[in-house]
Amino acid sequence: MIKIEVNNVEQLLKQLTALSQGVVYKAPLMRQIAGTMQTTVERNFAAGGRPKWLGLKARQGKPLIDSGELRNSINARWDNDYAIVGTNLPYAALHHFGGTVKAKRAKYLKFKVGDKWVQKKQVTIPARPFMQLTDADEKEIIDDIQAYFRKLI
């Protein structure tokens, strides 16, 4: 038989109430997780990939970093039940997962490399994952969750 003796019932009820409310209303936790994930993506860009992204073949510069458009499009959203980090740029998935772009409306793709125009039937973009979490990033999120519940008690 287990016997539990409670000396301060009011304090126990206060802590149980805080815990139950924190489990039901999780938006502050989701906001923290979304912020941590967004910081992780920013670290990926700052490091040029974790692991490092393949360099550019046709020109000088740093892939996914030079214009800053993709990096600046990263946004975080959260609600009571989710935390999301993403981008609305249509080409983001191609850069993240890699793939081949083929000419659709013309015989060739035409684009500028340096000061010259180039024509290709297709271009293969290597995967440069920028929306990934390292083991350390996942641990940081777990730490966020644990800290949230410690605060509730």
Contact 62, 48 (CB under 8 A): yes
Q: What is the band of 151 on the pLDDT scale with cuts at 50, 70, 90? A: confident
pLDDT at residue 3, as a whole number? 73
Residue 17: pLDDT above 90?
A: no
pLDDT at residue 66, as a whole number? 60
Task: Note the residue count of the chain.
Answer: 153
Query: How do the domains of the chain map onto residue ranges?
Result: 9-90+130-152
Using one digit for the tens of pLDDT, what is the confidence trace for 95-128? 899 999 898 888 998 887 778 888 889 888 888 8
pTM of the entire predicted model: 0.77
Residue 15: pLDDT above 90?
A: no
Q: Which of 21-25, 46-50, 55-59, 102-106 has the highest mean pLDDT?
A: 102-106
DSSP, res 153: -
How many CA atoms lie less than 13 Å away from 88 in the CB half-sphere? 3
Higher-confidence position of 6 and 99: 99
pLDDT at residue 34, as a whole number? 98
What are the φ/ψ torsions at residue 7 (nearest 5 degrees)?
A: -90, -35
Q: For the chain, give the mean pLDDT.
A: 85
Q: What is the band of 62 on the pLDDT scale with cuts at 50, 70, 90? A: low
Query: Partners of 110 in the beta sheet?
Result: 119
Burial label, 126 (beta-carbon count in 10 A; 0-12, 13-18, 19+): middle
